[in-house]
Amino acid sequence: MRFSIAALITMVALVAISGLAAADRLPNATPENQVFSIDTVIDVTGAVDDKTTMSWVIAGPGSIPTGILKAGQVVADVTFRDSILTNGGKLAENKNFDFSSKNQGSGLYNIEQQKVLTYASTEGAHLVGEEEYTLSVAGNYATGDDNIRCVFSQADSDILPAFCNIVSAKSSLVNVNSAQISTKGQIRGVAETADTPAALNYQIAVTPDANSGSGFAEGTVKTVFAGSIMEARDGGDDNYALSSGATWNKTSATNTWKDTTEVTGGIKTLQKAFAYTSGFRV
């Protein structure tokens, strides 16, 4: 039995509070930078196994902490993985992966990937795959003077409070027989100053293979977008609170969310988009 499914969901998570308040601040780049790209073009009738993975942890100031973060410390933990596996059929794929460990401004990213693939089954073959982006940023309280480029608050306190935020975007392809699939993902996890926010963006679109003649993509597609947010506040001019961390590390806000979609059968259109930004200026 065939049926069509149309879904378009855009989810935007913004942590924006005027003045010096709660939100991510990113570590800055190390003096040594790495920039690389991986471009993949595949046009195959037969089995395909294509994987890309990356794990990146960066902290500042100093080295990656092994215990509780000290005052002023922040650490970003980024993971990315993408895989496609077929046991036959015809696959055409064009994939571009770019990485830069340099400080990034608003609108620029440390990780970017774009992928377009078309798959058609032959002799009972099918395609499976997964793509996942995760951004985890945590920091203890720090002084604004050392972390922002310009004054954007007249508040008496110049302390950036503690936080611990994790967001992720994932898509899964299960037993796909025919489809055209395009995805795009971006992560920003490093910036020179705290007025550049953290960011994670992800988009997926599933449509019929134009050459199939059926008018439907066939298979199962799943997406999961999730986040867990913990934020403190600035605490006024209490010097004891600043020195002891008694105020700056107390949880003032929590926010968790999860969005899931699963479609199976004849898919006319599936589009999902997730956009997350967290910073002192967004």
pLDDT band at 24; cut points 50, 70, 90? confident
**Tens digits of per-residue pLDDT, 62-86?**
889 888 888 889 999 999 999 999 9
Q: Does residue 4 sit in helix, strand or coil?
A: coil
pLDDT tops 70 at residue 189: yes
How high is the pLDDT of residue 252? Answer: 84
User: DSSP code of 244?
Assistant: H
Between CA 63 and CA 30 the distance in angstroms is 10
The whole-number pLDDT of residue 15 equals 33
pLDDT bin (cut points 50, 70, 90) of residue 170 is: very high
Please name the helix (run of DSSP H) or strand (run of DSSP E) that holds residue 156, with its range, or none.
Answer: none
Which of 11-20, 144-153, 171-180, 221-230 is least confident?
A: 11-20
Residue with the bigger pLDDT between 118 and 237: it is 118
The reported pLDDT for the residue numbered 249 is: 67
CA atoms within 13 A on the CB side of 101: 16
pTM for the predicted model, two decimal places: 0.86
Beta bridge partners of residue 184, listed in sequence order: 114, 203
- Structure tokens given for 195: 């007025």
How far apart are the C-alpha atoms of 106 and 102, rounded to whole Å?
A: 13
Whether 179 has a pLDDT exceeding 90, the answer reads: yes
| pLDDT surpasses 90 at 204 | yes
Q: What pLDDT shows up at residue 243?
A: 53
What is the average pLDDT score of the chain? 84
Backbone angles phi, psi at 8, to 5 degrees: -140, 110
Contact yes or no for 164/245 (Cβ under 8 A):
no
Residues 6+ apart with CB under 8 A from 117: 84, 91, 92, 93, 94, 95, 180, 181, 182
Does the pLDDT at position 153 exceed 80? no
- What is the number of alpha carbons within 13 Å of residue 115 lying toward its C-beta? 30
Q: What is the DSSP letter of 29?
A: P
On the question of pLDDT at 195 being above 90, the answer is: no
Q: Give residues with Cβ within 8 angstroms of 67, minimum separation 6.
A: none
Which one-letter DSSP state was computed for residue 145? G
Q: Which residues pair with 167 in a beta bridge?
A: 135, 227
Pairing of strands 163-188, 217-231: antiparallel
Identity of the highest mean pLDDT range in 147-151, 238-242, 248-252: 248-252
Q: In the prediction, which pLDDT does 71 show?
A: 84
